[in-house]
């Protein structure tokens, strides 16, 4: 069976067992025709099933290494991440708890890594503007209570 129908220019989805419009597929630059093998709906279902099937393996890796894309994006390799994690005794550099996942906190101006934080502290600092003024404003607000 042809993947792209020659007359209608529609794409075959193996799970649907029919030709669908191109809009039903997400783009895939590595594919010869530029589209994913499965329609977007079935691709999501397959991804969910895969995550469920390999959840323990995925979660264990994430627990051990934190969010690897984040530290890799900031120029930190796994060895450097683990060294920093060990120096912090596996604790959040901000609140001092031992979270399931540590993420790299970095300065958005310089790109310099400041330390490893739990997700809550990292989100909090980011939402306060990633600067001292935002934190002081929040402190002032809380001190009025």
Does the pLDDT of residue 65 top 60, yes or no?
no
pLDDT at residue 51, as a whole number: 82
Task: Give tens-digit pLDDT for 77-90.
Answer: 778 888 889 999 99
Q: Which fold has domain 64-143?
A: 3.40.1800
Output the CA–CA distances (angstroms, integers) from residue 92 to 50, 108, 112, in the order listed. 31, 19, 17
Q: Which residues pair with 117 in a beta bridge?
A: 103
Orientation angle between helical segments 55-65 and 40-53, nearest 10 degrees: 70
As a whole number of angstroms, the distance between CA 24 and CA 35 comes to 10
* pLDDT band (50, 70, 90) for residue 60: low
Please state the pTM of the whole predicted model: 0.51
As a whole number of angstroms, the distance between CA 145 and CA 109 comes to 33
- According to CATH, where is 3.40.1800.10 located in the chain? 64-143
Task: Give tens-digit pLDDT for 106-125.
Answer: 887 888 888 999 989 999 99
As a whole number of angstroms, the distance between CA 108 and CA 106 comes to 6
* pLDDT band (50, 70, 90) for residue 75: confident
Does the pLDDT of residue 64 top 60, yes or no?
no
Farthest-apart Cα atoms in the chain, separation:
71
Candidates 27, 133, 126; CA nearest to 70 is 126
How many CB atoms within 10 Å of residue 117?
25
As a whole number of angstroms, the distance between CA 33 and CA 31 comes to 5
Task: Give tens-digit pLDDT for 1-35.
Answer: 678 888 898 999 999 999 999 999 999 999 888 99
Token readout for 143 is 């001190």
Beta strands 11-13 and 113-118 are unpaired
Does the pLDDT of residue 67 top 70, yes or no?
no
């Amino acid at each position: 069976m042809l993947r792209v129908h020659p007359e209608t220019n529609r794409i075959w989805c193996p799970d649907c067992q029919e030709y669908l419009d191109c809009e039903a597929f997400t783009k895939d630059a590595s594919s010869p025709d530029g589209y994913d093998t499965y329609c977007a709906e079935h691709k999501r279902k397959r991804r969910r099933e895969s995550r469920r099937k390999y959840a323990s393996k995925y979660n264990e890796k994430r627990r051990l290494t934190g969010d690897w894309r984040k530290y890799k994006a900031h120029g930190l390799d796994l060895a450097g991440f683990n060294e920093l994690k060990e120096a912090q005794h596996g604790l959040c550099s901000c609140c001092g708890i031992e979270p399931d996942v540590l993420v790299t906190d970095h300065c958005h101006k310089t790109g310099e890594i400041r330390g490893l934080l739990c997700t809550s502290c990292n989100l909090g600092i980011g939402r306060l503007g990633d600067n001292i003024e935002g934190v002081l404003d929040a402190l002032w607000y809380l001190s009025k209570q």
